[in-house]
């Protein structure tokens, strides 16, 4: 009888869409109608996620029973399963299960799918929220046409330690900029609303404070005050919730001694409680089982108890839920209601995505072909890449290169590289040749004209001490009007599990630069990396430097667009650093929004008995917010509507920005505040707003900002978000150090 009844109800669920809107049940009613049919085993199945057998992003457990488990309704989602063919195959199997609950297909679509965009840290240099959102939107358009309905992105971890390889995956050191970018990326991935055929569920990760791993060592412990957690590391996650992120992913690290996966304070009190998050939390790969390694639980049984109680809804690859939740229920250690809450959160997303109405909606091969071959996507990627390139140095206006140059020597181990330009967390799309990447060599040929004199020499490898290629490189350089040297790290030297104790430019690449400079030829250096590297020799001796990160499919064209600038249809660089660049690994952590301390060293002349290193400047090599342009900008006419403000009566601020150079360009105007006295000491600067201003040569614009209570607030000792009366400094800068105009005001009682 039950079978007949459940089959009838199953049919009813799928007939829903044809009912009139008035009769159509709400999502929650539809969820409840499915939940009522489910056995405990099927409920636990929804909490279970496996890696497909095709590609892995973590330690794989060999398991030949996955297909049978899907048939039995014991799997809720697969990851690393891409393409309409393969996802359709698995969905077909799920449609043969008793209740036909569709699978979710998750993938790390971090910075593009088939079309690869710049790594997220590079995109963050654009400070261009529209461009960043469009990048994520384009990635979602491709991935959702290829069977995927869930991306494990954006990674929103604040990171202030470039030894940590995953610094490449986020938006740098600052909570304000990081929050804006988190919001833009969630909106980009999810589009107008979940359920549209080109929308992906976003996943804010890694919750929380994964980027604060001690020593920058991946997976290491995190230890910080709740106040610092709230003030610096949580804001981008809150922004993701405000953007409507469908899911969260917890992090591998323990935080203050409690693994994030089993951290009730993070997942229940804050995320699902205070922030009222209605989506679901997936564990990071195996992190539930890893609580045993942490020494926080004794075995899988205790791990499952801890994680489900703390609010981890779906178990990625640890099998603790599948193996232990049934016994925990039997032993009355947990209630069925706890399981039901997790199951309902997951089913709700499957309904919102429209998978119950059409389990194959993301599996249309024709749509896949169209989306993966849309020429508009490469144009978007090229523009995003050009906006991500940071001009660090440009002595005597060596750049942009003159179009009258006759011969260029393009030298270095990354000049003709293809896949290297993809950086870490690219997606290997089956049947798609990754050689459609435009190499730096091809980009220059496209721009400079393949018939012109473009000379090449590799010079050396990325690593190793072999200098045998130097002579050829010098010989090639001697024939050229200008030398471009492309050096850096390998793409797999940053990313997950890629922490490094030495972040110098590897090998003998800077020695090669030395030889090339000795020729007397002008040398432009391109630095390719997923993290801030240390390159003091290059910084001091090369006349021009572009930090090109890893720029993705259109790397070569974007680099050429910036090298030649507007004269040859390219662009004037406008990017600014979202993270401080240390002078040495010994200077880490170095970040702009530090406290003053009782013995502040305000410049290198007064380090004695002040907070500094005796053998190093107090300043980073390049500061947060730094980046040059081919033109110049003047800041003037700073005006405040008043100098004393009441807490609910904001100050209106305006200033004029003038393009005083000969090229049209864009300036990222940064607004910093300093709260001079607080019950908790306040940073010497905090980014509180910014504007990216486009100005033609000679043009001026007045830009306006509002200083309101929100901008003056911080978490006090009691973790209350408060604005305290007192004096504030207001600074506008082209970087956190290059302050152009400033004033002060008072917040009254």
Q: Judge contact between 500 and 463, C-beta under 8 A.
A: no
Distances 662 to 632, 658, 698 between C-alpha atoms, Å: 8, 12, 8
Decide if 680 contacts 714 (C-beta within 8 A).
yes
CB half-sphere exposure, 630, CA atoms < 13 A:
24
Within the chain, what is the greatest distance between any pair of CA atoms? 89
The number of beta carbons lying within 10 Å of the beta carbon of residue 649 is: 12
Find where tokens 């999810």 sit: 190
> Quick check: helix, strand or coil at residue 222?
strand
- For ligand GLC, the closer CB: 185 or 688: 185
Q: Is 152 in the site for ligand GLC (CB under 6 A)?
A: yes
Toward ligand GLC, which CB reaches closer, 152 or 728?
152
Taking the complex as a whole, the smallest distance from the CB of residue 400 to ligand GLC amounts, in Å, to: 38
CA gap 521, 398 in Å, rounded: 11
Please check whether residue 490 is in contact with residue 423, taking contact to mean a CB–CB distance below 8 angstroms.
no
Give the 3-state secondary structure of residue 644. Answer: strand
Size of interface with ligand GLC, in residues (CB under 6 A):
9
Are 538 and 505 spatial neighbours (Cβ–Cβ below 8 Å)? yes
**Residues 426-465, mask of contacts with ligand GLC (x by CB under 6 A):** ----------------------------------------
For residues 628 to 667, the per-residue mask of contacts with ligand GLC, x marking binding by CB under 6 A and - elsewhere, is ----------------------------------------
Letters for 75-94 (x = contact with ligand GLC by CB under 6 A, - = none) are ----x---------------
Cβ-based nearer residue to ligand GLC, 159 or 477: 159
- Whether 313 is a known active-site residue: answer no
As measured in angstroms, the least distance from the Cβ of 110 to ligand GLC is: 8
Helix axes 320-330, 336-353, angle to 10 degrees: 140
Per the CB < 8 A criterion, the answer to whether 288 and 304 are in contact is yes
Provide, rounded to whole angstroms, the least separation between the CB of residue 641 and ligand GLC: 45
Look at the chain and count its residues: 749
Q: Are 229 and 237 in contact (CB under 8 A)?
A: no
CB 94 within 8 A of CB 70: yes
Q: Give the contact letters, 21-60, x = binds to ligand GLC (CB under 6 A), - = no.
A: ------------------------------------xx--
Quick note: the x/- pattern for ligand GLC over 202-221, rule CB under 6 A, is ---x----------------
Residues pairing with 668 in the sheet: 692
Q: Least CB distance from residue 286 to ligand GLC, whole Å?
A: 8
Contact map string, positions 482 to 501, toward ligand GLC, x by CB under 6 A: --------------x-----
Q: Which is nearer to ligand GLC, 361 or 500 (CB)?
A: 500
Give the residue from 571, 658, 657, 621 showing the smallest Cα distance to 737.
621
- For ligand GLC, the closer of residues 139 and 474 by Cβ is 139
Between 117 and 285, CB nearer to ligand GLC: 285
Minimum distance, C-beta of residue 137 to ligand GLC, in the bound complex (Å): 20
Residue among 117, 164, 189, 285 that touches ligand GLC (CB under 6 A): 285
Place of tokens 């807490």: 647
SS3 of residue 706 by DSSP: strand
Kindly give, in sequence order, each residue whose CB lies less than 8 Å from that of residue 7, ignoring residues fewer than 6 positions away: none
Shortest gap between Cβ of 530 and ligand GLC (angstroms)?
Answer: 15
Nearer to ligand GLC by C-beta: 205 or 490?
A: 205
In order, the DSSP letters of 73-122 are T---EEES--SHHHHHHHHHHHTTSSS-PPPEEEE--SSBSSSBPPPHHH
Q: Which two tokens stand for residue 426?
A: 């690219």
Site string for ligand GLC, 501-530 (x = CB under 6 A): ------------------------------
Distance CA 100, CA 11 (A): 10
The distance of Cα 110 from the centroid of its chain, to the nearest Å, equals 7
Query: Cβ closer to ligand GLC: 170 or 733?
Result: 170
For residue 57, the minimal CB distance to ligand GLC (Å) is: 3
Contact 247, 201 (CB under 8 A): yes
**Three-state SS for 47?**
coil
Single residue of 284, 290, 489, 561 touching ligand GLC by CB under 6 A: 284
The three-state (H, E, C) secondary structure of 710-724, written as one string: HHHCEECCCCCEECC
| Site membership for ligand GLC, residue 108 (CB under 6 A) | yes
Q: At what angle do helices 129-144 and 375-388 cross, to 10 degrees?
A: 140
3-state secondary structure of 395: helix
Cα(9)–Cα(34) distance, integer angstroms: 8
Report the nearest approach of ligand GLC to the CB of residue 151 (Å): 9
Q: How far is the CB of 686 from ligand GLC (least distance, A)?
A: 28
Nearer to ligand GLC, 231 or 284 (CB): 284
Closest CA to 78 of 112, 52, 116: 52
The distance of closest approach from Cβ of residue 56 to ligand GLC in the complex, given in angstroms and rounded to an integer, is: 8
**Contact status: 189 vs ligand GLC (CB under 6 A):** no
Question: Smallest distance from the beta carbon of 424 to ligand GLC, in angstroms?
Answer: 11
At a CB cut-off of 8 Å and minimum separation 6, what does 629 contact? 391, 572, 573, 574, 661, 663, 665, 666, 667
Question: What does the block give as tokens for 69?
Answer: 């488990």
Query: Does residue number 566 form part of the binding site for ligand GLC (CB under 6 A)?
Result: no
Catalytic residue among 218, 284, 426, 561: 284
Angle at 124 between CA 121 and CA 129, to 5 degrees: 150
Nearer to ligand GLC, 49 or 629 (CB): 49
Handedness of CA 45, 327, 345, 182 (dihedral sign): negative
* Cα 7 to the center of its chain, rounded Å: 44
Nearer to ligand GLC, 253 or 736 (CB): 253
Nearer CB in complex with ligand GLC: 152/470: 152
Distance CA 574, CA 134 (A): 18
Instruction: Give least dist CB 244 to ligand GLC, A.
Output: 20
Among positions 234-273, residues that touch ligand GLC (CB under 6 A) are none
Closest distance between ligand GLC and the C-beta of residue 113, in Å? 14
Contact 490, 418 (CB under 8 A): no
Check: CB of residue 154 under 8 Å from CB of residue 135.
no
CB nearer to ligand GLC: pick between 187 and 205: 205
Q: Give catalytic residues, as residue numbers.
A: 284
Name the site residues for ligand GLC (rule: CB under 6 A): 57-58, 79, 108, 152, 205, 284-285, 496
């Amino acid at each position: 009888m039950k079978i007949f009844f459940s089959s009838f109800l199953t049919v009813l669920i799928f007939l829903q869409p044809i009912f009139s809107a008035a009769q159509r049940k709400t999502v929650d009613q539809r969820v409840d109608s499915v939940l009522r049919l489910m056995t405990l085993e099927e409920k636990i199945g929804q909490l279970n996620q496996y890696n497909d057998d095709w590609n892995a992003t973590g330690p794989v457990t060999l398991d030949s029973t996955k297909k049978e488990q899907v048939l039995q309704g014991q799997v809720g989602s697969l990851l690393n399963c891409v393409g309409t063919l393969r996802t359709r195959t698995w969905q077909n199997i799920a449609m043969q299960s008793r209740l036909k609950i569709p699978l979710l297909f998750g993938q790390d679509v971090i910075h593009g799918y088939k079309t690869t965009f710049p790594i997220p840290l590079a995109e963050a240099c654009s400070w261009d929220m529209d461009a960043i959102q469009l990048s994520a939107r384009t990635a979602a358009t491709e991935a959702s046409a290829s069977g995927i309905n869930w991306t494990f992105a954006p990674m929103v971890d604040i990171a202030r330690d470039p030894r940590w390889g995953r610094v490449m995956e986020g938006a740098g050191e600052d909570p304000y900029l990081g929050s804006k970018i988190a919001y833009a990326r969630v909106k980009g991935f999810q589009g107008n609303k979940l359920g549209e055929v080109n929308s992906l569920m976003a996943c804010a990760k890694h919750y929380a404070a994964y980027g604060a791993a001690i020593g920058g060592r991946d997976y290491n412990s995190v230890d910080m005050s709740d106040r610092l957690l709230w003030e610096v590391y949580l804001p981008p996650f809150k922004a993701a919730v405000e953007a409507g992120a469908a899911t969260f992913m917890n992090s591998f690290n323990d935080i203050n001694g409690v693994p994030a996966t089993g951290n009730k304070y993070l997942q229940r009190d804050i995320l699902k409680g205070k922030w009222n998050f209605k989506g679901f939390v997936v564990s990071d790969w195996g992190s539930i089982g890893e609580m045993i390694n942490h020494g926080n639980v004794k075995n899988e049984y205790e791990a499952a108890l801890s994680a489900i109680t703390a609010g981890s809804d779906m178990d990625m690859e640890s099998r603790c839920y599948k193996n232990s939740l049934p016994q925990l229920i039997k032993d009355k250690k947990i209630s069925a209601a706890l399981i039901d809450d997790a199951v309902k959160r997951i089913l709700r997303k499957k309904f919102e995505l429209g998978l119950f109405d059409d389990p194959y909606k993301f599996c249309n091969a024709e749509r896949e072909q169209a989306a993966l071959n849309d020429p508009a996507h490469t144009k978007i990627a090229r523009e995003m890449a050009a906006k991500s390139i940071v001009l660090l140095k440009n002595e005597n206006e060596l750049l942009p290169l003159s179009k009258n140059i006759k011969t260029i020597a393009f030298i270095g181990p990354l000049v003709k590289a293809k896949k290297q330009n993809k950086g870490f967390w690219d997606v290997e799309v089956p049947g798609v040749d990754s050689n459609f990447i435009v190499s730096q060599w091809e980009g220059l040929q496209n721009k400079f004209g393949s018939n012109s004199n473009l000379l090449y020499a590799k010079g050396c490898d990325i690593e190793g001490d072999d200098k045998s290629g130097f002579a050829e490189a010098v010989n090639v350089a001697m024939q050229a009007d200008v030398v471009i040297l492309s050096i850096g790290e390998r793409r797999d030297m940053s990313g997950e599990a890629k922490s490094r104790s030495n972040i110098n430019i590897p090998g003998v690449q800077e020695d090669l630069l030395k030889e090339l400079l000795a020729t007397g030829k002008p040398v432009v250096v391109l630095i390719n990396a997923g993290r801030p590297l240390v390159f003091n020799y290059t910084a001091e001796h090369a006349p021009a430097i572009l930090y090109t990160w890893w720029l993705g499919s259109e790397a070569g064209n974007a680099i050429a667009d910036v090298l030649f600038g507007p004269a040859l249809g390219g662009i004037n660089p406008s990017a600014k650093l979202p993270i401080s660049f240390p002078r040495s690994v010994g200077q880490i952590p170095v970040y702009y929004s530090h406290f003053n301390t009782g013995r502040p060293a305000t410049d290198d002349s007064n380090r004695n008995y002040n907070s500094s290193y005796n053998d190093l400047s107090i300043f980073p090599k390049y500061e947060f917010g730094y980046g040059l342009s081919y033109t110049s900008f003047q800041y003037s006419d700073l005006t405040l509507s008043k100098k004393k403000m009441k807490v609910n009566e904001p100050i209106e601020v305006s200033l004029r920005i003038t393009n005083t150079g000969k090229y049209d360009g864009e300036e990222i105007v940064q607004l910093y505040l300093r709260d001079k006295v607080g019950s908790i000491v306040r940073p010497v600067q905090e980014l509180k707003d910014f504007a990216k201003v486009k100005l033609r040569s000679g043009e001026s614009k007045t830009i306006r900002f509002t200083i309101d209570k929100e901008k003056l607030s911080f978490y006090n000792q009691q973790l209350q978000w408060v604005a305290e009366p007192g004096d504030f400094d207001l600074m506008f800068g082209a970087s956190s150090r290059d302050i152009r105009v400033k004033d002060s005001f008072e917040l009254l009682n």
